[in-house]
Amino acid sequence: MEQFQSDESLLALFRNPGTKEAAFTAIVNKYKERLYWHIRRMVIIHEDADDVLQNVFMKTWKGLEQFRAESGLYTWLYRISTNESITHLQNQKKKRAAVSFGNEQDLAGQIRADPYFDAKKIEWKLQLAIQRLPEQQRLIFNLRYFDEMPYQKMSEILGVTEGALKASYHHAAKKVENYLRNS
């Protein structure tokens, strides 16, 4: 089963017990990379991203039969990924509550600990700048800047009005620009 099949046909195949497994594999193959990078940008570490991605597809497997297709499959998967990533970060934050520094600084520390980290390269500076944003702004910035997601789609995923998303993105972009200028 090829991954370029439409979401509608994949969903129809998933609902058929005879083709359920193959349809699910096709869905995984179609979205795994996009979702992985969306998650990775949030949780930074590969092992954490892998855990979250596994959870996302586990929930997809369990919940896809009840999926009413009111929103697109892609939107639904992004929503699960976003929620799982946020839950993961919150759990991490709770675990590290005893330590004096916050989660944002810790994520920046994880970026610096990457074996390929190069403080002179703009792409790494950009990642450090993004980690200084509040969680919601970081999420919006990532979806808009890297995934180039339309505001309307983002609104469906995050449940925030388009106007609020635009304002939030512009604030975030200005902060990132200032960080890049001063670093």
Partner 1 sequence: MKQDAAYNILNRIRQEQKTNPGFTLPEGYFEAFTDRLMTTIKETSADEAPLLPLLDAAPRKMPYSVPLRYFTQFRVDRGMVISFKRGLTIAASFILLAVTSIFLFTKKPQTTETASLPAVTAAVNRLTNEQLERFMQPEELPSKEKPAVRQTVNAQSADMTKLFKNVPDAELANFLNETAEGNDEIFLN
Give the binding site for partner 1 (CB under 8 A).
Answer: 24, 28, 32-33, 36-37, 40-41, 44, 46-47, 50-51, 53-55, 57-58, 61, 114-118, 121-127, 145-146, 170, 173-174, 176-177, 180-181
Of residues 46 and 102, the one with the C-beta less far from partner 1: 46
Smallest distance from the beta carbon of 126 to partner 1, in angstroms? 5
Smallest distance from the beta carbon of 18 to partner 1, in angstroms? 17
Smallest distance from the beta carbon of 81 to partner 1, in angstroms? 14
DSSP of 151-182: HHHHHHHH---HHHHHHHHHHHHHHHHHHHHH
**For residues 168 and 178, what is the distance between their CA atoms, to the nearest angstrom?**
16
Buried b (16+ CB within 10 A) or exposed e, 81-102: bbebbbebbeebeeeeeeeeee
Alpha helices in 5-134 (DSSP H): 7-14, 20-43, 46-63, 73-95, 103-112, 122-131
Of residues 27 and 157, the one with the C-beta less far from partner 1: 27
Of residues 31 and 78, the one with the C-beta less far from partner 1: 31
Smallest distance from the beta carbon of 12 to partner 1, in angstroms? 20
